[in-house]
Amino acid sequence: MSSATKTTYYKDADSDGYGDKSDAGAAYCDTTSTYKVTTKTDCNDAVSAINPGATEVCDASDTDEDCDGLRRRRQLRVVSGKTTYYKDADSDGYGDKSDTGAAYCDTTSTYKVTTKTDCDDSVSAINPGATEVCDASDTDEDCDGLADDADSSVSASSKTSFYKDADGDGFGDETDPGQALCDDSTGYPTDDNSDCDDADAAINPDATEILYDGIDQDCDGGDIADADGDGQISANAGGEDCDDTDADIYAGATEIWYDGVDQDCDEASDYDADGDGQDHDGYGGTDCDDTDDTVYLGAEELADGLDNDCDGEVEILDADGDGLNDTDELPLGTDPQNPDTDGDGLSDGEEVLTLSTDPLDGDSDADGLSDGEEVNEHGTDPVSADSDDGGVNDGEEVDRGSDPLNSADDDLPRSTVKGGGVSCATASGATSPGAGLALAAGLLAFAARRRRSPTSR
């Protein structure tokens, strides 16, 4: 048979009516069991569902069902199996709620998700899976159409406690337990609960404290009763501080005299340091010595060498009339209230000024006779133990009956002298210094006398 009348047939292994695209074909007058068709356009002759007449569908393996050389991502003719995808600009897994979407077999770089529930596709923290939290802009984070306090699912940890403010001063009642909210409300307008009296708008932490009124205006825990902080309550609040503006002034503070300030709050004159009731004469007063409370105008004059009455003179006093000024008796050690301090029968003045005896020792010469006995009874020298220098002291001679003024009988036996009629000279003052000695001389003599020790006599 002439080859010119033959037809080229191609294998159609899957019997779908489309020859194998890769087959070279064979010339036959008629089809055979192997060479069945006259076209070779089947891109997969092993699957009958794949051929140029098939419908392109979406599938996981991206099969080119209609053998047009295009896979599903770019296949505009696909009419079966597509899915609608939506834009997800913030990549949070939720599509833009406002997007109309596009049908594709698979996602693209723009159309990524199959849901469109994101109410703000520009913020990844906002989507249906997010947690609703309190925020200043009342954002609906979980896209349920409700925000902050209007959303019952709002996070409790993001809420703030707000308090009642009955007096409207901006500070909440400190006794109010408060309400956890995202934002303030009419009933709970403030997050500050430091108002100690929510019934009075003049009382709150920003108020100015009024001193000593018993009211805690600024809610710091109490009224101010010690404004200067010196530790004492003001007298205005029942305390002892007489000046609550100066921390150096309070009851018991050290007084600074003559500055016109009552530092110790004793209400006494600041110009009467000795407390004798008269101000210093250098500050308009009449006290001529403000360091001694026994010295002031009109005071009783004392035997202290001071001008007690401020008359400009120091009076000479002799309270006991012993001839010694009271001021002189003090350094001598004699008693200005006792004319005979040592009780020897001689006045202190006589002993010091005339006799130079010791007004504090009744027997100045330690001869066994008191100074008064020697002067007033025997005429012996009260400062010489042996007035006649006969070798026997005056007391012994008087005791045995000899004359203490006559040395001639000093060596006579005691029995001869006793009752022997020896007359005792009674020339009173024969050995004593002359009366009327000056005070200075008497004091010097007494001082010298006191320097002699009794054991040396």
pLDDT in tens, 241-284: 999 999 999 999 999 999 999 999 999 999 999 999 999 999 99
For residue 319, being part of any structural domain is answered with no
For residue 118, being part of any structural domain is answered with no
Instruction: State how far the Cα of 147 lies from the Cα of 7, in Å rounded to an integer.
Output: 78
For residue 202, being part of any structural domain is answered with no
CA 370 to chain centre: 76
For residue 28, being part of any structural domain is answered with yes
For residue 359, being part of any structural domain is answered with yes
pLDDT at res. 421: 42
By three-state DSSP, how is residue 173 classified?
strand
Mean pLDDT value of segment 23-28:
94
CA 326 → CA 303, 307, 337, distances in Å?
A: 5, 14, 8
- Per the structure, the complete domain to which residue 56 belongs is given by 1-77
Mean pLDDT value of segment 130-136:
97
For residue 307, being part of any structural domain is answered with no
Single residue among 15, 49, 77 that ends a domain in this structure: 77
Provide the number of structural domains found in the chain.
Answer: 2
How many CA atoms lie within 13 Å of 43's alpha carbon, on the beta-carbon side?
14
Single residue among 57, 77, 97 that ends a domain in this structure: 77
DSSP per position, 42-100: BS-TT-TT-STTSPPB--TT---TT-SS--GGG-TT--BS-EEEEE-TT-SS--BTT--
- The predicted-structure confidence for 314-351, as pLDDT tens digits, reads as follows 777 888 889 998 888 889 999 999 999 999 999 999 99
For residue 435, being part of any structural domain is answered with yes
Model-level pTM greater than 0.85?
A: no
| From 59-68, 99-108, 163-172, the region with the lowest mean pLDDT | 59-68
Residue among 386, 389, 384, 394 nearest 433 (CA): 384
pLDDT at res. 422: 39
For residue 108, being part of any structural domain is answered with no
Single residue among 21, 46, 77 that ends a domain in this structure: 77
